[in-house]
Structure 1
């Protein structure tokens, strides 16, 4: 069963810290506190994954809010599975992952994202990387 990866947890904590900074420099917002509790336990136990069932409602809600800001699919509109490849050269997902993407939950999708980012073999990470960038990452030429 896919779960929460510590890198996603770190990203969610930082996202919330940016959006709701501490007013006094000491006490974090409720979302950061909920996520930080999980993070501390994972670091203490040297775990990189946590089953999603272990997330308390506040932490789950905070993580899902961060997740909603991430790119949904790794697709770069170059799909080699339509030509019979078992794994897409464009995005790095398997044929089954592409077919099941719309019914996957956020934790399953993030597990796929972590795998393809770790492998770095898909074209989205090299010759067609510009297609994978969001508009905010592109420089605006006046």
Structure 2
């Protein structure tokens, strides 16, 4: 299985698990809802948590699912919005957040472009030429 296949599988499976574990119940309009993405190069996987009560809870859940290994890192955490993971053909992977799905993807591509300049083409409608792939996008229940 290719690297992107493994990453996509991990995001799909674990993102759904995170949503069902941390996302149960109605949104609390008075409180923040937190989410986080994590990554392990050794395991070729990403993990996600969404709709946690705190940033610490979202990060802890991601690190627990990753196994807490030395290369389990948090790519991004955010409150009350959306996050996106993007990957380049050169092997770079990053995540960023925004108030909605579109802004999260744009911010992630901009962040990726710092290490993989061709990624910037994805924000201008040339994702095939840029070698950039959106791996996952997820939003808290109270995202705009």
TM-score (ref. length: structure 1): 0.29
Query: Which of these two proteins has the greater Rg computed from alpha carbons?
Result: 1
In terms of fraction of residues, the more strand-rich structure is 2
In terms of fraction of residues, the more helix-rich structure is 1
